Chain A
Amino acid sequence: MRRIDEDILEVRRLILKMGAMIEERLEMALGALVEKDERKAQMVIESDDKIDQLELEIDRISRNMIVLKQPAAKDLRFVFTAIKITTDLERIGDLLVNIGERVLEIVNEPPLKPYVDLPRMAEQVRKMIRRSLDAFFEGDAVLAQSVIADDQFVDDLNIQVFRELLTYMMEDPKNIRKALALSSIAKSLERVGDHTTNIAEMIVFMVQGKDIRHAPHEKGE
C-alpha cells in the first residue's frame, strides 16, 4: 500500500460517516414534522456540531495530503472531490438545522393538512444522498449521473408544494405562518437536492476526469 492510500481510506471513511449522519438526521427532521416530535427536531439541531467537526477533520487530512503526499491524477481528483463534496455535505447539515427550526415553530399546533409531498421529497433526496455516497464509494459515474437526473423530481415537488400552500394562504390568512414554515422546509429540501447534485457532479469528475458542472445535463438514461 502506498502511504497516500492510508489518507485516502481515512477520508473516504469520514465522508461516508458524514453522509450516513446526514441521512439519519434528514429522516429525523421529517420524523419530527410528521410525528410532531419536538425532541427529534431538537436533536437534529444539536447534532449539527458533529457534522461540522467531520468537515474540519476531512479538510485537515486533505490539506496535509496535498502538501505531504503531492497527489496526482486519480489521487488528485479524489482529494479535490473530497474537499468539494465535504463542503456540500456540511451545507446540507446546515439546511437540516433550518428544517429543524421551522419544525419547532409549528410542532405544537395542529397541522395545516396531512403531509404527503414533503415526506416524499425528503425520501427522494435521502435516496439521492445515499446513491451519491454509493457512487463515491464504488467510483461509479453512471450511478452518480442518475442522481443528477433525479433532482428534477425534487424541483417539481417543491413547486407543487408551494402552489398548494399558496391556496391555503389565500383561503385564510391565519394559515400564512404555518404555510410559510412548510414552504421553507420544502425549499430547504430542494436545496439539499441541489447540493447532492453538486456532489454527484464531482463524483463524475473524480471517476472520469470530466467536468460536467455548468453544462447542460443529459437527462434520463
Chain B
Amino acid sequence: MMNGRVSIRVEGLNFFYGKKQALFGVSMEIYRNQITALIGPSGCGKSTFLKVLNRMHELVPGARAEGRVMIEGADIYNNGVDVAQLRKNVGMVFQKANPFPKSIYDNVAFGPKLHGVRGARDLDAIVEDSLRRAGLFDEVKDRLREPALGLSGGQQQRLCIARALAVGPKILLLDEPASALDPIATAKLEELIQDLKSSYTIVIVTHNMQQAARCSDSTAFFYIGRLIEYDKTEAIFVTPAKKETEDYITGKFG
C-alpha cells in the first residue's frame, strides 16, 4: 500500500485530557520526504495527534499520552529526552501566524541563538538560507530589520516556517497553516510545502479537504479519536475503503 523510509512510528497511542480520552490506540507510520495530511471533523483528535509528535501537549495541564512515539528511531517519551532538542528536530507552525514582535531578522535568528549560534556571519547565513527555503528572502531582503508584524498574513506565515527551519529540523508539523490566508497566499504556501518535502518530513493538519487532496502524498482520516483510514491520498479521495471516510469526504457528516 504505502512505502518509504519511516520517519515517525506511532504505536498504540492513547491520549487523555484529564479524564477525557482524546485518542484511542492510534498506530501509524509517517514517511520521510512525504507530505502526510491529517483530516477529520473538529474534535477528531488530529491536532492532538500532531501535538503529541513534539510533546507540545505537555503545556496543557492534565494532558497525558500513553503508547510509543518513535521519531527517527528514538522514543521521544523516554526519560532523559531533551524536549528543547526534540522541538529543534520537530518544528511546528500554527494556524495563526505568530511572529515575535521583533524584526524579521530576529525572528529567524531567535532559534539558532537559543541553540548557541553566536557569530554574526553564521547567523546571517542561517537567516538568509531559512528565508530562501521559505520562499520569502527576495520579498524581504531589503527590510530585514523592519518589524515582522508589518508583513502580510501570508508572508508572516512563511516567516514562521523560516523560523522553524532555522534550527535545522527534520520534521515539520503544520497545524492548519493556510486557514487564515487568502487563495494566493495559500497557493504559495502549498507550493512551498511541495518544495520542502525533498528535505523534510511534513505532516499537515487541515480542515480543507481540497488542500489535503492537492498537496499531500498520504492522508490519514481521524474520527472521534480513532485513526479510521490511512492510505495514499489518491486512494482516500477516489476509492476510500471505509464508509466513515467516504461519508466525511463526500460531506455526509454533520
- Please name all residues of chain B whose beta carbon is closer than 8 Å to the beta carbon of A71 when the two chains form the complex: 250
Q: What are the interface flags for B239-254 relative to A under an 8 Å C-beta threshold, 1 for contact and 0 otherwise?
A: 1100001100111100
Q: In the complex, A72 Cα to B210 Cα: how many Å? A: 9
Could you name 22 residue pairs across A and B whose Cβ atoms are closer than 8 Å?
A2-B252, A4-B250, A4-B251, A70-B210, A72-B209, A72-B213, A72-B237, A72-B238, A72-B249, A72-B250, A73-B237, A73-B240, A73-B245, A73-B246, A73-B250, A74-B246, A74-B250, A75-B250, A77-B238, A77-B239, A209-B238, A209-B239
Query: SS class of chain B's interface: helix, strand, loop or mixed?
Result: helix
Q: Which residues on the A side are within 8 Å of B249 (C-beta)?
A: 72-73
CB distance from B98 to the nearest CB of A (A): 31
Residues of A with C-beta under 8 A to B210: 70
Are B238 and A73 in contact, CB atoms less than 8 angstroms apart? yes
CA distance A77 to B239 in the complex (A): 8
Query: How many whole Å from A203's CB to the nearest CB in chain B?
Result: 15
What is the distance, in angstroms, from A209's C-beta to the closest C-beta of chain B? 3
Give the 7 A-B residue pairs with the shortest CB-CB distance, closest first: A209-B239, A72-B249, A73-B246, A72-B237, A73-B240, A75-B250, A73-B250
Q: Which partner residue on chain A sits nearest B240 by CB separation?
A: A73
Question: Which of B's residues lie within 8 Å of A, judged by CB?
Answer: 209-210, 213, 237-240, 245-246, 249-252
Q: In the bound complex, what is the Cα–Cα distance between A209 and B243 (angstroms)?
A: 13
A5 to B200, alpha carbons, bound, how many Å? 41
Instruction: Point out the residues of chain B lying under 8 angstroms from A4, CB to CB.
Output: 250-251
* A2 & B251 in contact (Cβ 8 Å cutoff): yes
| A residues near B213, Cβ cutoff 8 Å | 72
List A1-45 residues whose CB lies under 8 Å from chain B: 2, 4
A70 to B214: give the CA distance in the assembly, Å. 12
A4 to B252, CA, bound (A): 11
Residues of A within 8 A of B251 (CB): 2, 4
Contacts of A210 in B (CB 8 A): 239
Min CB distance A66 to B, Å, is 12
